[in-house]
Amino acid sequence: MSARAHLAQAQADLVRALGTGAPVPAGFDPGRVEAAARALLDKRRRLVAKTWPSLVTGLGATFATRFDAWARLHPMTVEPRPLVDGRAFVESLRAEGPLPPDVARARLAFDIRWRPAQEGEVRARRGPMLLVRREGAARQILVALRLPGGHIRMWP
């Protein structure tokens, strides 16, 4: 193996330990590497909580554990992207069962403002739009209307 390939291997082992919970490579202080992984997860969770406050109110005490479990399976990209992270996390919650009403409303409010763009990014929507959904255990009807000029109305 060339010297560069050795370096690539060592860097890959470290990245796997940080991002996916693989064993910490020999020679590193495992406690320190784990502290670094935890610090990043905390930052990522804090930004999502700030961008999606309904997740914190809707999921209560289980928010942190459920988010952390999801985040470990979905390593982040270059920078924390709380809009994208939050939206993907909500989708994973929805696959597990009915969303709490606040979270369902937040998901609708997000989708009337943002559209998926390339490379996992989101872009602000333009122009009028109507979204109607049945959500939650009660299959409640939720409506969001985006008016020309970007004003948004939601019912209920």
Q: What is the DSSP letter of 119?
A: G
Shortest distance in whole angstroms from residue 87 CB to other proteins:
18
State which residue, 49 or 154, has the beta carbon closest to other proteins. Answer: 49
Q: Does 88 bind other proteins (CB under 8 A)?
A: no
Token output for 90: 């909500």
C-alpha to C-alpha distance for 36 and 44, rounded to whole angstroms: 13
35 near other proteins, rule: CB under 8 A: yes
Q: Which is nearer to other proteins, 25 or 101 (CB)?
A: 25
H or E element in which residue 14 lies? helix 3-20
DSSP assignment letter at 135: E
Hey, what amino acid is at 35?
A
Could you list the residues that contact other proteins (CB under 8 A)?
3-8, 10-12, 14-16, 18-20, 26-29, 32-33, 35-36, 39-40, 43-44, 46-47, 50, 75-80
